């Protein structure tokens, strides 16, 4: 065998994984979405696109989509801006900057289940956050934040921002470190203060980091599940029902695999559209600068 | 920044730090309180280890711990070996073949894995792997991110050593194991730490791919031993400490490697 062919042997593991665990599930999932496959029956018949039309008329599914969008667009701007500001401040080499960087990252390496359990306690009636709101005269919902449809989703969003910030601080810091130091030094010599330097040099040069952070966070946030599973199961009144939870509940818990697959596929398409759109925006920006 | 401004900034960042660390400290503190406590009472702190012994005696918790370690270790070793192989092959093979395959891996980075729960669940049922270690391990032995990292890393390695070994008559496999793998150590460390963390913390797939109590990993076991309305919080928190503190210590030790792993992806962009 010639050498290049021997080298191809090394690629075989991925080639087989790609086919078996990525391409096949992706297409099989689409096929399932066109059937009325039931877990208990173990089979299903081809029913064309009726799962899709049924979904579009299903208010529960629509609620799950709305909640997911709410979650994604409510958290990402806050997380991004907060992480950026923290990273800019840490990059000034203030006393203790290494400790800050490490400590902010701890939530990101902790299992989401653990975090959700802790916050379940803090958000409950007489939990610490609940008490804090009461002492501040803010009238939190009597039974706890997660028990009221007005506050449950907000509470989960707040927790998610808290979890995610440290991770994006790290990515922004990497972006800031990649900026040529001469640029920032020159500005410093010219007497530009922290705000001026950040606004006119650092932030404009972080464009691709921004894009990376937003794409990453969008793909991640659209898939929110664990928080919902542990904290609310989608309650109260579906106010925290997200699409992946909908897929899990319909598909795994109730065994309506065909219907749930269609829901998963719609979510998949939405995420793809957003990712591609964001990539397109990045490219446009790149040609502009 | 001026010195005073630096200290004020530091003070602000310390306040943020307290907010970031507080829930973790709260978890630890609550795990030492008397059974049945709901919220830590700062005027009446308890220091009992009772909850930890309850945790380890009940609910197969030791088994969950073993499962988590076994699965995370195996998946990590698999990724280290297989991603290095594939990365090496993609880097050294003829590009008309390797390029489309590399693109297939990069494209999979964009696929939200959670939308694949149903087909993978179905596949595991069909393979007869449902509720076994196979389901928890086999599908995750190679990751697109790992391939991406390793290919980029091997691209940066000189080929001279490989060529020298080849001239000496070494076979392709021994070149890979004796020459390439040792050179890849820094990248493999990054990949290993990343994979271990992700696998240790993962929840949705372990939740759906096994259903008997002895097969649960720590996160799944924790989530299911917790019925919020009736649960014993100090015990739940003791379980949470066991599931998270080893990882946090591991992080503090390997902090640089973990940080590199995350920023490598960002900078390559």
Tokens 């049922």 correspond to what residue?
B125
Asked if A274 and A218 count as a contact pair (C-beta separation under 8 A), the reply is yes
pLDDT score recorded for residue A132 = 92
The ipTM is: 0.88
pLDDT of B69 above 80: yes
> Rounded CA gap, B228 and B105, in Å?
41
- Residue B118 falls inside a structural domain: yes
Structural domain of B177: 50-268
pLDDT score recorded for residue A288 = 41
**CA distance to A19, A190, B67, B127, per residue, from B63 (Å):** 33, 63, 6, 25
> Rounded CA gap, A180 and A182, in Å?
6
Band of pLDDT at residue B262, cut at 50, 70 and 90: low
List pLDDT tens digits, range B191-225.
888 899 889 999 999 999 999 989 999 999 988 87
Band of pLDDT at residue B141, cut at 50, 70 and 90: very high
Indicate the number of domains in chain B: 1
**Can you tell me whether residue A43 is helix, strand or coil?**
strand
pLDDT score recorded for residue B265 = 56
pLDDT of A126 above 80: yes
What is the pLDDT averaged over residues A179-183?
84
Q: Identify the CA nearest to B233 among candidates B12, B40, B14.
A: B40
- Residue B30 falls inside a structural domain: no
The CATH number of the domain holding residue B244 is 1.10.3720.10
Among all residues of chain A, which has the CA nearest to that of B146?
Answer: A14
pLDDT of B58 above 50: yes
**Which range, of A15-19, A34-38, A136-140, A188-192, averages the lowest pLDDT?**
A188-192
Asked if B266 and A212 count as a contact pair (C-beta separation under 8 A), the reply is yes
pLDDT of A140 above 80: yes
Give me the helices (H) in chain B, please: 3-30, 50-57, 61-92, 95-109, 117-127, 133-137, 144-155, 160-167, 172-174, 181-183, 185-201, 204-209, 218-225, 233-268
Domain A45-288, CATH number (from 2.40.280.10, 3.40.50.2300, 1.10.3720.10, 2.10.10.100): 1.10.3720.10
Band of pLDDT at residue B93, cut at 50, 70 and 90: confident
List pLDDT tens digits, range A231-250.
998 888 999 999 999 999 99
CB contact under 8 A, B172 and A9: yes
pLDDT score recorded for residue A261 = 94
What is the pLDDT averaged over residues A92-112?
89
B176, B203, B266 ranked by CB distance to A209: nearest: B266
Query: How many Å is the maximal CA-CA distance in chain B?
Result: 75
- Residue B252 falls inside a structural domain: yes
**Which range, of B13-22, B70-79, B151-160, averages the lowest pLDDT?**
B151-160
**CA distance to A173, A176, B260, per residue, from A203 (Å):** 12, 9, 22
- Residue B11 falls inside a structural domain: no
CB contact under 8 A, B114 and A230: no
Band of pLDDT at residue A213, cut at 50, 70 and 90: confident
CB contact under 8 A, B237 and A117: yes
Burial of A75 (0-12, 13-18, 19+ CB in 10 A): buried
What is the pLDDT averaged over residues B179-197?
88
CB contact under 8 A, B5 and A194: yes
Among all residues of chain B, which has the CA nearest to that of A162?
Answer: B20
pLDDT score recorded for residue A266 = 94
pLDDT score recorded for residue A199 = 87
| pTM assigned to the model | 0.90
Q: Identify the CA nearest to B152 among candidates B192, B187, B189.
A: B187
Contacts of B139 in chain A (CB under 8 A): 21
Domain ranges of chain A: 45-288
% residues pLDDT > 70 (chain A)? 96
pLDDT of B252 above 80: yes
- Residue B96 falls inside a structural domain: yes
């Amino acid at each position: 065998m010639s050498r290049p062919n021997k080298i191809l042997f090394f690629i075989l593991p991925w080639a087989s994984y790609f086919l078996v665990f990525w391409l096949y599930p992706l297409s099989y999932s689409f096929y399932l979405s066109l059937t009325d496959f039931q877990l208990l029956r173990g089979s299903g018949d081809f029913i064309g696109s009726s799962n899709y039309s049924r979904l579009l008329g299903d208010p529960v599914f629509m609620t799950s989509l709305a909640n997911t969008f709410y979650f994604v667009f409510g958290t990402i701007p806050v997380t991004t801006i907060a992480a950026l500001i923290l990273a800019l401040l840490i990059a000034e080499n203030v006393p203790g900057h290494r400790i800050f960087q490490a400590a902010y990252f701890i939530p990101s390496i902790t299992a989401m289940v653990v975090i959700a359990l802790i916050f379940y306690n803090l958000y409950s009636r007489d939990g610490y956050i609940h008490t804090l709101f009461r002492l501040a005269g803010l009238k939190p919902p009597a039974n706890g934040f997660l028990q009221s449809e007005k506050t449950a989703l907000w509470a989960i969003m707040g927790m998610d921002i808290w979890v995610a910030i440290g991770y994006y601080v790290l990515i922004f810091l990497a972006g800031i470190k990649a900026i040529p130091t001469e640029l920032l030094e020159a500005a410093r010599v010219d007497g530009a203060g922290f705000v001026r330097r950040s606004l006119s040099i650092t932030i404009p040069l972080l464009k691709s980091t921004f894009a990376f952070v937003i794409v990453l966070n969008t793909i991640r946030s659209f898939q929110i599940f664990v928080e919902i599973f542990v904290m609310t199961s989608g309650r109260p009144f579906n106010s925290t029902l997200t699409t992946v939870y909908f897929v899990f509940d319909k598909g795994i818990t109730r065994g309506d695999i065909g219907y749930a697959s269609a829901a998963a596929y719609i979510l998949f398409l939405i995420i793809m559209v957003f990712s591609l759109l964001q990539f397109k925006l990045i490219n446009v920006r790149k040609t502009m600068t | 920044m001026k010195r005073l401004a630096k200290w004020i900034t530091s003070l602000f960042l310390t306040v943020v730090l307290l907010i970031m660390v507080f829930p973790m400290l709260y978890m630890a503190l609550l795990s030492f309180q008397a059974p049945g406590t709901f919220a830590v009472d700062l005027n009446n702190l308890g220091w009992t280890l009772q909850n930890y012994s309850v945790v380890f005696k009940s609910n197969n918790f030791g088994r969950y711990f073993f499962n988590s370690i076994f699965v995370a270790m195996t998946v990590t070793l698999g990724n280290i070996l297989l991603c290095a192989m594939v990365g090496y092959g993609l880097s050294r093979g003829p590009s008309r073949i390797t390029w489309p395959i590399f693109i297939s891996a990069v494209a999979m980075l964009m696929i939200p894995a959670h939308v694949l729960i149903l087909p993978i669940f179905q596949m595991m049922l069909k393979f007869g792997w449902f509720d076994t270690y196979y389901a928890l391990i086999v599908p995750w032995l190679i990751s697109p991110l790992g391939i991406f990292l390793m290919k980029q890393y091997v691209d940066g390695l000189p080929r001279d050593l490989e060529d020298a070994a080849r001239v000496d008559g070494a076979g392709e496999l021994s070149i890979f194991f004796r020459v390439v793998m040792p050179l890849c150590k820094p990248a493999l460390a990054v990949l290993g730490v990343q994979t271990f963390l992700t696998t240790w913390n993962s929840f949705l797939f372990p939740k759906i791919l096994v259903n008997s109590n002895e097969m649960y990993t720590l996160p799944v076991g924790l989530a299911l031993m917790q019925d919020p309305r009736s649960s014993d919080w100090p015990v739940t928190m003791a379980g949470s400490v066991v599931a998270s503190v080893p990882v946090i210590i591991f992080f503090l030790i390997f902090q640089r490697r973990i940080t590199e792993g995350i920023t490598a992806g960002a900078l390559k962009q």
